[in-house]
Amino acid sequence: MSNLKQKKKLIVDKILADKNRDANIDEVGIGVAPSNIALCKYWGKRDLDINLPVTDSLSISLADKGARTQVQISPENLGIDEVIVNGELCAFTSEFHVKVVKFLNLFRKSENQNFIVKTDVNIPIKAGLASSACGFAALVLALNDLFAWNLNDKELSILARLGSGSASRSIKHGFVHWSAGIDDNGLDSFATRIDANWDALRVGLLVLSDAEKSIGSREAMQISVETSPFYKVWPEQVADSILKTKKAIEIKDFELLGQTAEQNAICMHALMLTSVPPILYSNQDTIAMMRKVWQLREQGVEVYFTQDAGPNLKLLFLDKNVNIIQENFPNIDVIAPFGLNNVSETVKVETRSI
């Protein structure tokens, strides 16, 4: 067994201990998880094998934008898992299929046990819109449902983290804080919900390109850790951003929230640009939209942006400015993380029957 598999397996076996790993073939597990956008970013791992971050991070979940996953044991002896995304069977050789199979290897009872995973994702996949975050979180929730593990939020967050770091935050709605932890075994690195709502807050998804990323975040963040001369100040920067963001949430200071998120994202992209080789996710439209945001701010409209490992921007604003934002960004998809859909603080797990 490779070192990587062994380290992940140790965590899974510890959390699942003597829990059930079998289900009838007519049973299905369902998990629904929101996508999340980091306001204070995670960029760099202290343990690459088990996705342990260098720093804490803080995100906002995107209500009903995310993944709904159904999982069941395969009734046929195909010898391979089937992964169906938005109605389409993934090629067995595709990068995504391989990633999901590797993740499922951590959970199967025996090599003969295969799964059928059906996922519907309502955000563009692989374009820096956290589709892997909601995908792995929903898969963990679906497995928890299928096998009736009744895991708590901490355990669910740790398991989701093994699929993708940011998935640890997609276990909860609202503002979520992922603590980096200090233990080498990774059992103290998980996300918790911040006990606060902000009904007027809006997040706008500005999809400028839904093309696949030029370089995946896993590889890119490692290059930054190893080569950016500014990486050494990043942990301090994130710690400061988190303090300010928590304060902003507590006292509902939107300017502080937006300023902090925008600056944190720019700092992360500065790490990327100063990496060797340089990493640049922005395209011309990204830059044009950033300028537009700054121009609007000069005109007195309170709007800020954040950006992840892709060219798309996410805008932060308040509900009172929805109209002016939509006038300026006609294709924007406006999300109310706390409002409209009456989102509960825990992610939804639907009924188990087919």
Which of the ranges 38-46, 115-123, 179-187, 288-296 carries the binding residues for ligand PMV, by CB under 6 A?
A: 38-46
In the complex, minimum distance from the CB of residue 40 to ligand PMV, in angstroms, rounded to a whole number: 8
Question: What is the C-alpha to C-alpha distance for residues 200 and 274, in angstroms, rounded to an integer?
Answer: 36
Q: Looking at beta carbons only, is 29 or 337 nearer to ligand PMV?
A: 337
Q: Write down the H helix ranges in the chain.
A: 3-16, 95-105, 131-146, 153-163, 217-227, 234-251, 254-273, 284-298, 322-328
In the complex, minimum distance from the CB of residue 281 to ligand PMV, in angstroms, rounded to a whole number: 9
Question: What is the C-alpha to C-alpha distance for residues 9 and 17, in angstroms, rounded to an integer?
Answer: 11
Does residue 132 belong to the site contacting ligand PMV (CB under 6 A)? yes
In the complex, minimum distance from the CB of residue 161 to ligand PMV, in angstroms, rounded to a whole number: 9
In the complex, minimum distance from the CB of residue 43 to ligand PMV, in angstroms, rounded to a whole number: 6
**Residue from 69, 157, 164, 264 in contact with ligand PMV (CB under 6 A):** 164
Q: Looking at beta carbons only, is 116 or 162 nearer to ligand PMV?
A: 162
Does residue 165 belong to the site contacting ligand PMV (CB under 6 A)? yes
Question: What one-character DSSP code corresponds to residue 109?
Answer: S
Q: Looking at beta carbons only, is 70 or 166 nearer to ligand PMV?
A: 166
Does residue 166 belong to the site contacting ligand PMV (CB under 6 A)? yes
In the complex, minimum distance from the CB of residue 59 to ligand PMV, in angstroms, rounded to a whole number: 7
Give the tokens for residue 227: 């080569």
In the complex, minimum distance from the CB of residue 6 to ligand PMV, in angstroms, rounded to a whole number: 21
Q: Looking at beta carbons only, is 133 or 142 nearer to ligand PMV?
A: 133
Does residue 57 belong to the site contacting ligand PMV (CB under 6 A)? yes
Does residue 308 belong to the site contacting ligand PMV (CB under 6 A)? yes
Q: Going by C-beta distance under 8 Å and a sequence separation of 6 or more, which residues neighbour residue 107?
A: 12, 16, 21, 143
**Residue from 213, 218, 252, 292 in contact with ligand PMV (CB under 6 A):** 218
Question: What one-character DSSP code corresponds to residue 172?
Answer: B
Does residue 42 belong to the site contacting ligand PMV (CB under 6 A)? yes
Determine contact, residues 47/184, Cβ cutoff 8 Å: yes
In the complex, minimum distance from the CB of residue 308 to ligand PMV, in angstroms, rounded to a whole number: 4
The angle formed by the CA atoms of residues 190, 193 and 197, to the nearest 5 degrees, is 160
Burial 35-72 (b: 16+ CB within 10 A, else e): bbbbbbbbbbbbeeebbbbbbbbbbbbbbbbbbbbbbb
Q: Looking at beta carbons only, is 57 or 286 nearer to ligand PMV?
A: 57
Give the tokens for residue 22: 């079998």
Residue 197, helix vs strand vs coil: coil
Name the residues that contact ligand PMV, by CB under 6 A.
38, 41-43, 57, 132, 164-166, 217-218, 308-309
